[in-house]
């Protein structure tokens, strides 16, 4: 495990170094990505300008939700976002050559062509998160839950990226379904669940537990009652959801790799 | 001209072989559409005439947006991505020595792709949206005709922008970067995340003047009947203007790139 | 126990294809490899040949753990490759001639450096290996060049170095000479021979260039349509194909067709005559007989055309495997 992390960093840093060989391009990307990802939050701010609150939540509270899910997907995208390209790696035969190296395949796939511009999203989400966090009444339990929230959120998105990418071991045309769950999951959790009908919220809690990325822990941290009156222990259950996601993703990856059929040439 | 039609037809057919991808994409569009609808309903429930839209306009706008995402390739993709790939691999030299212009060739291909995406990923989510929510449809047949004419123009504008991003591959190591930045800009300034009409004053003026406004806001306003009579003509002229400007810019950049390739030998 | 053991190995692919005329695609099973059994000992150099689509690459992919066999058993260095792929990777080297395992956008040097780190080879060992291979394969001037700017032959040499830096016990080469010119091929063969001789590296090589095999391999395995049709020595392959060698005799004067025991005269052209005899028979008695009964000006012996032999093997129906059973 530690070896895998070290290998990941080595491969990634090589790519960072390679991209630093073109500093102008690098900085343009870094700044550009940062500004562009920021537009995402501007959109929410624009919506909130027209109303006092959204589903009973204020701009700072929504900023907190936004920052939390943003951090989750940003970390996951930073580490494993590249797995989306699995299909292409299969087609070009790159995966074959990776499989002959003594580094776990997933590490190689995710670290391949590591692009430092993905840090921009982490930074952007962090800024919104920190800004929104200044409006929270912090206590020790809340701080702990906040840490747990960001870790669980990252793990959930990590698992979504990896698990859904596995479908590409069977069919190459599936990347878009993955988007529905990863970026769709991110989008749906940018807003308070109270905006959505109860059935959708229940589905996002019990069927595909994406609401645990931020909604339940945030209710705890913000000291809010659950608008749907669901049990309070859910607010502390994010690590369980994350573990379930991770288990499913690991299983999918194992099955996928054993099913892998390479290409004909 | 027949050549360009053939190129477009081929692109259409090429995309139509990916049935699985199309279905997956329709599903994705529906998911995003539903999420946005609930958010907009909440906003317009609290402020019933934000930006001059009512709730029904807003929900219709969402599904028009989902229909246009792939048609104008907001996130990038289409033939300019193929070109970027060919620039990186060096195959572009073959394109440069073809007796037909690169721009016309790739534009035709992209229009073929757009036609396919409009018929599948444009139509299907709108139908789904229409079943789930109360949408508004243009009554006047003339409006439909105008819209039909507006879509290829919007695609051309988008093509021009994507092409410019792809052409950076001649100079930059990381051509994925500019394309991605363009995607983010397009997502916001096309009005896909929030309708441009509810942006605050100055930002709104700016966004309405940028080429991305042609992707969704202008056609949607025609659809929703927010633009009538002369304003429709104005809208179309705005779209056509951007299309011409961007194609000219592409031609100029391409010309410079060509000289560079000839000098460097690929 | 042998270093590589394969028994009753089978791999099928389910493909969807349009059976002619039908509108819908149908699922069909392609048997890429069927009932393959062989063993390779440490230090051997084995040529693995067969026509296009015979199943060579599929076999190599199973031996390296990339593909999981449909059935059958593989043991490489004592382990099942698909189950212990990453562990085994340290002990083997693989070169796929059609693709590169180098990092496309990075200079060769960076690729080698990264390989050093991920294989965790001893730094001193890495340095000496790198120096030696770079010297032998003449890559010194190219180390700072990004891989995508290398020519095919240069890249192939880079790939071979990359596959060898960690001192693998086994080197699999899938069409390593594809697209190389004659000089590069020759150098590469020389290099591989030295590798096997000096380091005892076991080599398994697939190729369509039979000169590779003649230059390198004592043993050949021939496969066709996924089935093994021959496993044995190169000489044995000649027998198998019923191949014959030829004596070309230049007589001092024109003469009627020569008659000697053990050989048949095939062709006469002025003073030159062609006599053929079984490839496994000795040429000595024939030459001796010729020398005593005729005025010979010059004489040479032509080896049989191995391509001819292989062609004969391929054209046999796949259901009757031949060659010595291995194991
Ligand atoms: N991933 C795959 N999916 C479907 N069929 C495959 C796949 N890989 C190989 N095959 C089929 O299996 C058979 C054997 O292919 P393989 O690549 O092993 O042949 P080969 O001996 O390496 O041929 P060549 O000399 O052309 O490289 C072929 O019929 C091929 O079409
Ligand atoms: Mg092959």
Whether the pLDDT of residue B77 is over 90: the answer is no
Residue C259 scores a pLDDT above 90: no
pLDDT of residue C303: 73
Note the pLDDT of residue C324: 40
pLDDT of residue C99: 86
- What integer is the mean pLDDT of A239-257? 96
Backbone angle region of A142, left / alpha / beta, with phi > 0 → left and psi within -120 to 50 → alpha: alpha
DSSP secondary structure string, B124-192?
Answer: HHHHHHHHHS-------HHHHHHHHHHHHHHHHHHHHHHHHHHHGGGT-S-SHHHHHHHHHHHHHHTTS
Q: Judge if pTM exceeds 0.90.
A: no
Q: How many CB pairs under 8 A join A and B?
A: 113
Calculate the dihedral angle through the C-alpha atoms of A177, A181, A184, A185, rounding to the nearest 10 degrees: 180
Chain-chain contact of B176 with A188 (C-beta, under 8 angstroms): no
Which of C12, C14, C32 most suits a substitution to test ligand 1, by most atoms within 8 Å of the C-beta? C32
Give the model confidence (pLDDT) of C106-146 as tens digits.
889 999 999 999 999 999 999 999 999 999 888 889 999 88
Residue with the bigger pLDDT between A246 and C99: it is: A246
The set of protein residues with a Cβ atom below 6 angstroms from ligand 1 is: A 261-264; C 13, 15, 30, 32, 50, 52-58
For chain B, what is the largest distance between any 2 Cα atoms, rounded to a whole number of angstroms?
A: 62
Domain ranges of chain A: 2-259
**Residue B56, Cβ neighbours under 10 Å: how many?**
15
A263 to chain C nearest CA, in Å? 9
Whether C211 and C182 have beta carbons less than 8 Å apart is answered as no
| Section C86-111 average pLDDT | 89
Q: What is the pLDDT of residue C323?
A: 43
pLDDT of A35 over the 90 cut = no
The residues that bridge with C4 in the sheet, in sequence order, are C40, C76
> Mean pLDDT, to the nearest integer, of A77-91?
91
CATH number of C4-91+168-239: 3.40.50.300
Confidence of residue A222 (pLDDT cuts 50, 70, 90): very high
Mark yes or no for CB contact A102/C100 under 8 Å: no
* Distances, alpha carbon B245 to alpha carbons A38, B76, B235, B250, in Å: 28, 19, 16, 9
pLDDT value of position A246: 97
For residue B125, pLDDT beyond 70? yes
The average pLDDT across A108-114 equals 91
**Adjacent-strand bridge partners of C76:** C4, C79
- Which of C306, C318, C103, C96 is closest to C220 using CA atoms? C306
* pLDDT value at C288 more than 90: no
pLDDT of residue B243 exceeding 50: yes
Residue of A31, A43, A59 to mutate when probing chain B, most B C-beta within 10 A: A43
Please state the rounded mean pLDDT for residues A227-243: 94
Q: Could you tell me which residues are beta bridge partners of residue C119?
A: none
The closest alpha carbon to C158, from C174, C179, C136, belongs to C136
Give chain A's mean pLDDT.
91
Please tell me the predicted confidence (pLDDT) of residue B106. Answer: 94
From chain B, the residues in CB contact with A187 under 8 A are 32, 35
Residue C10's pLDDT is: 95
- Indicate the pLDDT class of residue C241, thresholds 50, 70 and 90: low
The ipTM assigned to this model is 0.87
Instruction: Please tell me the least confidently modeled range out of B43-52, C75-84, C254-263, C305-314.
Output: C305-314
Which helix H or strand E contains B218, and what residues bound it? helix B217-223
Whether residues B198 and A175 touch (CB distance < 8 A) is answered with no
From A48, which residue of chain B is nearest by alpha-carbon distance?
B43
Higher pLDDT, A9 or B77: A9
What is the reported pLDDT for C326? 39
What mean pLDDT comes out for the span C317-322? 46
Percent of chain A with pLDDT over 70: 99
- Report the helix count and the strand count for chain B, using DSSP H and E: 12, 0
What per-residue confidence (pLDDT) applies to B206? 95
Would you state the pLDDT for residue A27?
A: 80
Asked whether the predicted pLDDT for residue A227 surpasses 70, the reply is yes
Please state the rounded mean pLDDT for residues A84-94: 89
Sign of the CA dihedral with B238 first, then B240, B243, and B246 last: negative
Give the model's confidence band at C307: pLDDT under 50 very low, under 70 low, under 90 confident, else very high. Answer: low
> Taking residues C277-299, what's their average pLDDT?
84
Q: From the centroid of its chain, how far is CA A176?
A: 16
pLDDT at site C320: 44
Could you give the CA distance from residue B253 to residue B256 in angstroms, rounded to a whole number? 5
**Reduced 3-state DSSP string for C90-120:** CCEEEEECCCCCCCCCCEHHHHHHHHHHHHC
pLDDT grade for C252, boundaries at 50, 70 and 90: confident
- Tell me the pLDDT tens digit for each residue of A151-208: 999 999 999 999 999 999 988 766 777 888 898 899 899 999 999 999 999 999 999 9
In a domain, B263, yes or no: no
**Average of per-residue pLDDT across A99-118:** 91
Give the total number of structural domains in chain B.
Answer: 1
Test A14 with C103 for CB contact under 8 angstroms: yes
Distance between CA atoms of residues B28 and C310, nearest Å: 54
pLDDT value, residue C229 = 87
Assess whether pLDDT exceeds 60 at residue C182.
yes
Which ligand 1 atom is at minimum distance from the Cα of C223?
21
**Strand-by-strand arrangement of the C202-206 sheet:** C92-96, C170-174, C202-206, C45-49, C219-224, C227-233
- Beta-carbon neighbours within 5 Å of ion ligand 2: C 57
B52: left (phi over 0), alpha (psi -120 to 50) or beta: left
Residue B139 within any structural domain of the chain: yes
Q: Is the pLDDT of residue C15 over 90?
A: no
Mean pLDDT, chain B, as a whole number?
A: 90
How many residues are given for chain B?
266
In the predicted structure, residue C315 carries a pLDDT above the cut 70: no
Distance CA C179, CA B5 (A): 38
CB C147 within 8 A of CB C105: yes
The domain of B101 spans 2-258
Would you call C67 and A261 a contact, using CB atoms and an 8 Å cutoff? yes
Closest-CA residue of chain A to B168: A25
The protein residue with its alpha carbon nearest to ligand 1, atom 25, reads: C52
What pLDDT, on the 0 to 100 scale, is given for residue C242? 64
- Give the Å distances, CA to CA, from B76 to A115, B120, B214, B239: 18, 18, 16, 19
Cβ contacts (< 8 Å) between C178 and chain A: which residues? Answer: none
For residue B182, pLDDT over 70 is answered with yes
Residue A42: Cβ-neighbour burial (10 angstroms; 0-12, 13-18, 19+): middle
Give the percent of chain C with pLDDT over 90: 46
pLDDT in the model for residue C319: 45
Q: Does A91 touch chain C (CB under 8 A)?
A: no
Provide the pLDDT confidence category of residue B266 given band limits of 50, 70 and 90.
very low
A42-56 pLDDT, tens digit each: 988 998 888 888 999
Pair C276, C309: CB distance under 8 Å: no
Cβ(B60)–Cβ(B136) below 8 Å: yes
The 10s digit of each residue's pLDDT in B143-158 is 999 999 999 999 999 9
Atom of ligand 1 nearest to the CA of A261: 1
Domain ranges of chain C: 4-91+168-239, 245-303
In a domain, B264, yes or no: no
């Amino acid at each position: 495990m530690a070896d895998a992390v070290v290998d990941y960093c080595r491969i990634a840093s090589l790519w960072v170094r390679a991209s630093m060989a073109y500093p102008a391009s690098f900085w343009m990307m870094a700044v550009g990505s940062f500004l562009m990802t920021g537009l995402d939050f501007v959109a929410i701010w624009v919506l909130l300008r027209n109303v006092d609150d959204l589903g009973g939540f204020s701009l700072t509270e929504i900023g907190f939700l936004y920052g939390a899910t943003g951090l989750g997907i940003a970390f996951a995208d930073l580490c494993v976002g590249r797995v989306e390209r699995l299909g292409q790696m299969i087609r070009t035969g790159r995966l074959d050559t990776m499989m002959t190296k003594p580094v776990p395949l997933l590490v190689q796939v995710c670290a391949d062509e590591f692009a430092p511009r993905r840090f921009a999203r982490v930074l952007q989400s962090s800024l919104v998160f920190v800004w929104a966090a200044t409006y929270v009444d912090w206590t020790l339990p809340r701080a702990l839950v906040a840490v747990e929230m960001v870790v669980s959120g990252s793990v959930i998105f990590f698992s979504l990226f990896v698990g859904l990418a596995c479908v590409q071991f069977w069919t190459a045309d599936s990347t878009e379904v993955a988007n529905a769950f990863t970026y769709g999951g991110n989008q749906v959790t940018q807003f308070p669940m109270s905006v959505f009908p109860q059935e959708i919220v229940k589905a996002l809690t019990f069927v595909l537990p994406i609401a645990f990325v931020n909604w339940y822990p945030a209710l705890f941290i913000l000291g809010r009652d659950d608008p749907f009156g669901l049990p309070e222990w859910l607010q502390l259950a994010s690590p369980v959801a994350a573990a379930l996601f991770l288990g499913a993703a690991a299983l999918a990856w194992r099955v996928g790799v054993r099913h892998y059929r390479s290409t004909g040439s | 001209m027949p050549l360009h039609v053939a190129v477009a037809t081929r692109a259409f057919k090429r995309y139509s072989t990916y049935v699985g991808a199309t279905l997956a994409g329709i599903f994705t569009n529906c998911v995003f559409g539903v999420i946005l609808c609930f958010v907009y309903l909440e906003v317009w429930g609290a402020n019933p005439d934000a930006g001059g839209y009512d709730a029904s306009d807003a929900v219709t706008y969402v599904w028009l947006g989902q229909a246009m995402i792939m048609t104008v390739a907001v996130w990038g993709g289409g033939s300019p991505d193929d070109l970027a790939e060919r620039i990186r691999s060096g195959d572009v030299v073959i394109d440069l020595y073809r007796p037909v212009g690169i721009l016309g060739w790739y534009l035709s291909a992209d229009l073929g792709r757009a036609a396919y995406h409009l018929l599948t990923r444009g139509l299907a989510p709108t139908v789904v949206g229409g079943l789930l929510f109360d949408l508004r449809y243009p009554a006047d047949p003339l409006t439909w005709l105008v819209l039909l004419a507006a879509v290829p123009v919007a695609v051309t504008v988008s093509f021009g922008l994507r092409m410019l991003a792809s052409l950076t591959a001649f100079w930059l190591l990381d051509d994925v970067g500019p394309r991605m930045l363009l995607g983010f800009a397009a997502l916001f300034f096309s009005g896909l995340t929030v309708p441009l009409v509810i942006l605050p004053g100055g930002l709104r003026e700016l966004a309405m003047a940028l080429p991305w406004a042609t992707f969704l806001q202008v056609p949607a306003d025609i659809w929703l009947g927010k633009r009538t009579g002369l304003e429709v003509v104005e809208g179309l002229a705005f779209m056509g203007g951007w299309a011409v400007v961007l194609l000219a810019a592409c031609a100029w950049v391409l010309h410079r790139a060509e000289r560079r390739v000839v000098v460097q030998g690929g | 126990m042998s270093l590589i053991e394969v028994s009753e190995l089978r791999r099928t692919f389910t493909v969807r294809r349009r059976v002619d005329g039908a509108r819908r695609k149908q699922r069909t099973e392609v048997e890429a490899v069927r009932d393959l059994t062989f063993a390779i000992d440490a230090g051997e150099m084995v040529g693995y040949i067969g026509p296009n689509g015979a199943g060579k690459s599929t076999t190599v992919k199973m031996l390296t753990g990339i593909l999981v066999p449909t059935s059958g058993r593989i043991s490489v260095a004592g382990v099942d490759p698909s189950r212990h792929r990453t562990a085994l990777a340290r002990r083997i080297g693989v070169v796929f001639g059609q693709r590169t395992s180098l990092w496309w956008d990075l200079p060769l040097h960076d690729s080698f450096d990264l390989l050093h780190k991920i294989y965790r080879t001893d730094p001193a060992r890495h340095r000496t290996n790198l120096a030696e291979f770079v010297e032998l394969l003449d890559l010194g001037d190219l180390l700072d060049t990004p891989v995508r700017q290398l020519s095919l032959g240069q890249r192939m040499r880079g790939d071979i170095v990359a596959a060898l830096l960690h001192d693998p016990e086994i080197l699999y080469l899938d069409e390593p000479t594809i697209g190389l010119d004659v000089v590069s091929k020759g150098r590469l063969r020389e290099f591989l021979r030295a590798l096997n001789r000096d380091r005892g590296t076991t080599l398994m090589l697939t190729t369509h260039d039979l000169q590779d095999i003649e230059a390198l391999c004592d043993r050949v395995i021939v496969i066709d349509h996924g089935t093994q049709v021959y496993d044995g020595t190169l000489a044995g392959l000649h027998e198998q194909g019923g191949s014959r060698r030829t004596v070309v005799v230049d007589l001092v004067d024109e003469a009627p067709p020569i008659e000697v025991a053990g050989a048949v005269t095939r062709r006469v052209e002025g003073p030159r005559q062609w006599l053929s005899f079984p490839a496994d028979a000795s040429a000595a008695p024939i030459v001796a007989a010729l020398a005593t009964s005729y005025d010979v000006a010059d004489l040479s012996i032509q080896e049989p055309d191995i391509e001819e032999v292989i062609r004969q093997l391929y054209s046999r129906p796949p259901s009757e495997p031949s060659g010595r059973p291995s194991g």
